[in-house]
DNA sequence: CGACCGTTTGAGTGCGGTCAAAAGAAGTGG
DNA sequence: CCACTTCTTTTGACCGCACTCAAACGGTCG
């Protein structure tokens, strides 16, 4: 037990040294409990913090001038988020919990220590940033070039793949904590149309609803119509610096 | 003269030490000249390289199963691109030149040296990655939640802002090296509809075509209808480690 | 029990796509 | 330099996917 959710995540890629573990634990020595729907940061607020999510779900989003919302990413346990604070003094996105959640804020000074003293962790942070960038480019293609049905399918597939990565016990059933309105805001659709697409996916035998849970009945099929590429499979860590 | 296009870019944020300059120059000691339209990398090809663009324009894109294309980002001189190689062994996107171009490939081993010996540069790389991530989230909101006209306006505004950042002489006129088909592939529209939107923007007095160049006649107005947020203005570098 | 929120369904509309054709621009080779 | 091909832009007519508006239904919480 490392006591650090984030260290556990990273340890799945490379065995960490004690010194590295201690450095990561320092990012999580200030956990905070929040109820569902709590605002963590609002866009444009001054913000020097980033977060590691220990329990629960969160999401980041943008509100446009006309009041519409674009959900940027869902955050699950072990995720580091709010990382744009590393580059900007003001939050570039709003962060909110989607369930009761425990999160660990840490400030940029803590990040400085990691970069200064732990080059291998720094490289891992960079790798994670690149993986998230790729995830965003995949979603860009999804919104820009695929149908409503495909976009919903892509969101659901991505949730399944990511949640299963965190919990190997998950096979085909995931909690669907999102309202259809939120699915719409993530996929660039209206809630009404999301409802129709969910029904269509169910009629195609791809998914099934089961009191609050979503059952993916045909993962291959869902991934296929979603144009989904599973990139979580493996990262290339061959170039990492020696640990300290 | 540092001899490194990328070092010049970074030096605009922080004065670099000689040692840092030398490390960056090593990333560019293998320049390659390519004609317009040359493929640099194809999606799914094995790839251990990243690139610094010294002259010319390039772009990255994805091709979907149905053959449609999503352009992910335009790359201008001084940009580092193809960075997803840092995380993956296979290219996650295709890269192609949009003009005669000089680019400098470097491999992951070179990146390892930077992370190992130059924590401040590593932190800068991380900051740049975050800034690009934010740029992608802005585009996600653009594709997901704004009209065709707004998307085209956002692309044009972003090009103006980025090109002016590279060349202070640019005020309102930029070369438009993109075909309308390419603008469509970047914004998730068809070439035909891009044509209509360009005409609409011209009729609104926002832009003007001038033998291959685009004149932005009302930058404020264009940015407003685009829902454009200029985030290039300033990065927060307060937390950077000490240089080496 | 009512108030509220989310889901579901229907009817009608419109934005952006599709198809088609012509005109213009830019290479390419003789 | 011209003839030819190919690419790009432009315009028109029509279509359909996803949006809008509206109403009913169901679950949940005070």
Nucleotide nearest to A146 (CA to C1'): D17
d(CA B187, CA A144): 7
d(CA B33, CA B54): 10
Whether A132 and chain B come into contact, CB under 8 Å, resolves to yes
Nearest CA-CA partner of A63 in A82, A41, A79? A41
Please give the pLDDT value at position B4. 87
Environment class of B25 (CB within 10 Å of its CB; exposed 0-12, middle 13-18, buried 19+): middle
Answer yes or no: are the C-beta atoms of B59 and B74 closer than 8 Å. Answer: yes
Please give the pLDDT value at position B233. 78
Name the residue among B108, B133, B188 with its Cβ closest to that of A132: B133
Nearest CA-CA partner of B84 in A84, A114, A19, A229? A229
Answer yes or no: are the C-beta atoms of B52 and B106 closer than 8 Å. Answer: yes
Please give the pLDDT value at position A232. 84
Nucleotide nearest to A190 (CA to C1'): D19
The tens digit of pLDDT for each residue in A213-239 reads 999 999 999 999 999 999 987 899 999
Name the residue among A125, A146, A239 with its Cβ closest to that of B64: A146
* Residue A49 backbone dihedrals phi, psi, to 5 degrees: -110, 150
Per-residue pLDDT of chain A (244 residues; tens, 9 = 90+): 457 899 999 999 999 999 999 999 999 999 999 999 999 999 999 999 999 999 999 999 999 999 999 999 999 999 999 999 999 999 999 999 999 999 999 999 999 999 999 999 999 999 999 999 999 999 999 999 999 999 999 999 999 999 999 999 999 999 999 999 999 999 999 999 999 999 999 999 999 998 889 999 999 999 999 999 999 878 999 999 999 9
User: Per the CATH hierarchy, to which homologous superfamily does domain A5-119 belong?
Assistant: Jelly Rolls (2.60.120.10)
- Cα distances from B4 to residues A88, A154, B33, B102, B112, in angstroms, run 25, 41, 16, 12, 19
Determine whether the interchain pair B123/A115 forms a contact, defined as Cβ–Cβ distance below 8 Å. Answer: yes
Token pair belonging to B109: 């081993």
A-chain residues near B241 (CB < 8 A): 112, 115-116
A130 three-class SS: helix
CA torsion, ordered B27, B124, A166, B138, to nearest 10 deg = -100
Cβ neighbours of residue A24 under 8 Å, at least 6 residues apart? Answer: A2, A4, A6, A7, A10, A16, A114, A121
Name the residue among A119, A145, A231 with its Cβ closest to that of B115: A119
Please give the pLDDT value at position B2. 54
Whether A17 and chain B come into contact, CB under 8 Å, resolves to no
Domain ranges of chain B: 5-109, 147-226
The C-alpha of A102 sits at a distance from chain B's nearest C-alpha, in angstroms, of: 24
A-chain residues near B238 (CB < 8 A): 89, 108
Whether B136 and chain A come into contact, CB under 8 Å, resolves to yes
- What is the full DSSP assignment across chain B? --S-HHHHHHHTTSPPPHHHHHHHHHTTSS-EEE-TT-EEE-TTSB--EEEEEEES-EEEEEE-TTS-EEEEEEE-TT-EE-GGGGT-SB-SSEEEESSSEEEEEEEHHHHHHHHHH-HHHHHHHHHHHHHHHHHHHHHHHHHHHS-HHHHHHHHHHHHHHHHHHH-TT-SSEEE----HHHHHHHHT--HHHHHHHHHHHHHTTSEEEETTEEEES-HHHHHHHHT-----S----TTPPPP-
Token pair belonging to B212: 């291959």
Return the number of other C-beta atoms located less than 10 Å from residue B116's C-beta.
17
Please give the pLDDT value at position A23. 96
Please give the pLDDT value at position A2. 53
Determine whether the interchain pair B65/A227 forms a contact, defined as Cβ–Cβ distance below 8 Å. Answer: yes
Return the number of other C-beta atoms located less than 10 Å from residue A46's C-beta.
9
CA B100 to C1' C5, in angstroms, rounded, equals 57
Nearest protein residue, CA measured to C1' of D12: B192
Please give the pLDDT value at position A234. 86
Please give the pLDDT value at position B162. 97
Q: Which residues pair with A63 in a beta bridge?
A: A69
Q: Which residues pair with A209 in a beta bridge?
A: A214
Strands of the sheet containing B80-81, edge to edge, are B32-34, B101-107, B49-55, B80-81
Q: Was domain B147-226 assigned CATH 3.20.20.70? A: no
Cβ neighbours of residue B242 under 8 Å, at least 6 residues apart? Answer: A116, B119, B120
CA B64 to C1' C27, in angstroms, rounded, equals 30
Per-residue pLDDT of chain B (244 residues; tens, 9 = 90+): 457 899 999 999 999 999 999 999 999 999 999 999 999 999 999 999 999 999 999 999 999 999 999 999 999 999 999 999 999 999 999 999 999 999 999 999 999 999 999 999 999 999 999 999 999 999 999 999 999 999 999 999 999 999 999 999 999 999 999 999 999 999 999 999 999 999 999 999 999 998 889 999 999 999 999 999 999 878 999 999 999 9
Whether B236 and chain A come into contact, CB under 8 Å, resolves to yes
Q: Which class does domain A146-226 fall in?
A: mainly alpha
CA B32 to C1' C28, in angstroms, rounded, equals 27
A106 three-class SS: strand
CATH topology of domain B5-109: Jelly Rolls (2.60.120)
List strand D contacts in B 147-206 (CB < 7 A): 179-181, 191-192, 195-196, 198-199
A-chain residues near B127 (CB < 8 A): 86-87
Core vs surface per residue B218-244: b (16+ CB within 10 A) or e: bbebbbebbbbbebeeebbbebbbeee
CA A192 to C1' D22, in angstroms, rounded, equals 12
The C-alpha of B172 sits at a distance from chain A's nearest C-alpha, in angstroms, of: 25
């Amino acid at each position: 037990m490392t006591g650090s959710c984030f260290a556990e995540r990273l340890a799945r890629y490379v065995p960490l040294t004690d010194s590295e573990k201690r450095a990561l634990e320092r990012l999580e020595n200030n956990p905070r409990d929040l109820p569902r729907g709590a605002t963590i940061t609002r866009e444009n607020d001054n913000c020097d913090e980033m977060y590691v999510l220990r329990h629960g779900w969160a999401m980041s989003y943008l509100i446009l001038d006309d009041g519409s919302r674009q959900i940027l990413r869902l955050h699950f346990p072990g995720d580091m988020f709010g990382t744009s604070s590393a580059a900007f003094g003001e939050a570039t996105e709003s962060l909110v919990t989607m369930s009761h959640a425990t999160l660990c804020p840490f400030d940029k000074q803590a990040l400085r220590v990691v970069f200064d003293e732990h080059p291998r962790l720094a490289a891992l942070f960079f790798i994670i940033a690149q993986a998230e960038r790729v995830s965003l480019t995949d979603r860009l293609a999804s919104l820009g070039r695929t149908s409503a049905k495909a976009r919903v399918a892509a969101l659901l597939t991505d949730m399944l793949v990511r949640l299963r990565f965190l919990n190997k016990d998950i096979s085909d059933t995931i909690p669907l904590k999102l309202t259809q309105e939120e699915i719409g805001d993530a996929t660039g659709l209206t809630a009404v149309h999301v409802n129709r697409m969910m029904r269509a996916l169910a009629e195609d035998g791809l998914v099934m609803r089961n009191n609050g849970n979503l059952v993916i009945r045909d993962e291959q099929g869902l991934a296929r119509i979603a144009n989904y590429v599973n990139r979580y499979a493996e990262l290339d860590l061959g170039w990492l610096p020696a640990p300290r």
